[in-house]
């Protein structure tokens, strides 16, 4: 009679072979092991590469999913969000279905909060959040607050038609001022006022309603897009922005204002600004400007109501 093989006591192995074994495991298996006990979570955490994981959370009518991935050799894991008997459930399961783990709660924020706490403890992922209008601003602010408390890096925040109060609009701007990407495609009150400081350094910033913006405040962003007929844009506002770019060492590489129905007087815009004409016949009007500090050049263009400043070298 052949002897029955015993289970491999995995966590009794030395760290080096255990680390090598973990690299051949699926990311889903690693995640499920970390959920087995505090001890297994602690051991797996010590084996994993630092600053390699990301968590992408999407809450929309079309999809409610959380993606967990890494820069390393592992394929990403999809965590489905389901509702059953008025209970919100987030579940990760082995393909065979033999092993699974579930976070659950009466409100969606409850299982999301439990998930975030576990991932922050073991994986320290960067966080990307995409929220659309069917979810409340209270849910959104609650998630961002927890991400802040867990000291996780906010990489991308995308908001589509979420009903934001002026206070919560300001909160988003303040808490996400160092995100890689911040898209706020939401309406804002006509009397909304806010000034960002020089520490607002979002790489890619996009707003649908930017009537509150002082463009010269945003020159430490790399790219800026403003949509939906921003009729508040006028030559004086744009001239102030151009002068700041010329005279400073700001990070701005590309600014685009889309579709002002009022139109922009290009000759008035260029008053007092040194420039080289590149295309001044018909539309679009286009000139080159040069930054004083380093000689870097940018193209300034106007086409009907559109305005664009783009660094070209």
Where does the pLDDT of residue 143 fall: very low under 50, low under 70, confident under 90, or very high at 90 and above? very high
Q: Which of 188-192, 234-238, 290-294 has the lowest average pLDDT?
A: 234-238
Cα separation, 112 vs 115, in Å, equals: 5
**pLDDT tier for residue 98 given thresholds of 50, 70 and 90:** confident
Per-residue pLDDT for 107 more than 60? yes
φ/ψ (deg, to 5) at 291: -80, 135
Q: Say if residue 89's pLDDT is above 60.
A: yes
The domains of the chain are located at: 164-312
User: Half-sphere exposure of 186 toward its Cβ, with a 13 Å CA cutoff?
Assistant: 29
What is the dihedral sign for C-alpha 170, 172, 177, 182?
negative
Question: Among residues of the chain, what percentage have pLDDT more than 90?
Answer: 60
Q: What is the mean pLDDT of residues 141-153?
A: 96
Label the pairing between strands 53-59 and 64-70.
antiparallel
Residues 210, 27: Cα–Cα separation, whole Å: 41
The 10s digit of each residue's pLDDT in 58-68 is: 998 888 899 99
pLDDT at 44 over 50: yes
pLDDT of residue 271: 87
Output the pLDDT for position 1. Answer: 45
pLDDT digits (tens, 9 = 90+) for 276-295: 887 654 556 889 999 999 99
pLDDT of 18 reads 81
Map tokens 């987030």 to a residue.
90
More confident call, 210 vs 118: 118
As a whole number, mean pLDDT of residues 222-249 equals 84
Contact (Cβ atoms closer than 8 angstroms) between residue 289 and residue 298: yes
Over the chain, what is the mean pLDDT? 88
Is the model's pLDDT at 5 over the cut of 90? no
The answer, yes or no, to whether residue 37 has pLDDT greater than 60, is yes
Is-contact 48 22, C-beta < 8 A? yes
pLDDT for 3 equals: 60
Higher pLDDT, 310 or 278: 310
- Residue, of 224 and 235, whose pLDDT is higher: 224
* pLDDT at residue 9 greater than cutoff 80: no
Residue 192 has pLDDT above 80, yes or no: yes
């Amino acid at each position: 009679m052949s002897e029955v093989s015993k289970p491999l006591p995995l966590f009794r192995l030395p760290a080096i072979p255990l680390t090598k074994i973990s690299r051949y495991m699926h990311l889903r298996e690693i995640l499920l092991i970390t959920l087995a006990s505090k001890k297994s979570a602690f051991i797996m955490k010590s084996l994993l590469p630092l600053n390699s994981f990301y968590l992408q959370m999407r809450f929309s009518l079309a999809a409610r999913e959380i993606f967990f991935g890494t820069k390393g050799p592992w394929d990403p894991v999809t965590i489905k969000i389901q509702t059953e008997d008025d209970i919100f459930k987030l579940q990760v399961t082995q393909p065979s279905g033999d092993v699974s783990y579930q976070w659950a709660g009466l409100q969606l924020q409850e299982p999301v909060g439990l998930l975030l706490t576990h991932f922050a403890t073991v994986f320290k992922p960067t966080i990307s959040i995409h929220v659309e209008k069917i979810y409340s601003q209270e849910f959104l602010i609650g998630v961002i607050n927890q991400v802040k408390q867990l000291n996780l890096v906010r990489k991308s925040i995308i908001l589509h038609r979420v009903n934001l109060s002026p206070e919560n609009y300001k909160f988003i701007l303040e808490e996400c001022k160092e995100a890689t990407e911040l898209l706020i495609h939401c309406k804002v009150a006509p009397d909304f006022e806010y000034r960002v400081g020089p520490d607002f350094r979002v790489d890619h910033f996009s707003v649908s309603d930017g009537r509150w913006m002082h463009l010269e405040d945003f020159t430490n962003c790399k790219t800026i897009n403003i949509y939906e007929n921003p009729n508040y844009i006028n030559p004086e506002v744009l001239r102030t922005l151009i002068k700041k770019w010329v005279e400073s060492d700001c990070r701005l590489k590309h600014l685009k204002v889309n579709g002002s129905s009022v139109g922009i007087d290009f000759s008035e815009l260029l008053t007092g600004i040194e420039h080289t004409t590149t295309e001044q016949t018909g539309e679009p009007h286009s000139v080159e400007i040069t930054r004083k500090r380093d000689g870097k050049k940018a193209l300034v263009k106007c086409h009907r109501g559109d305005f664009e400043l783009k660094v070209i070298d």
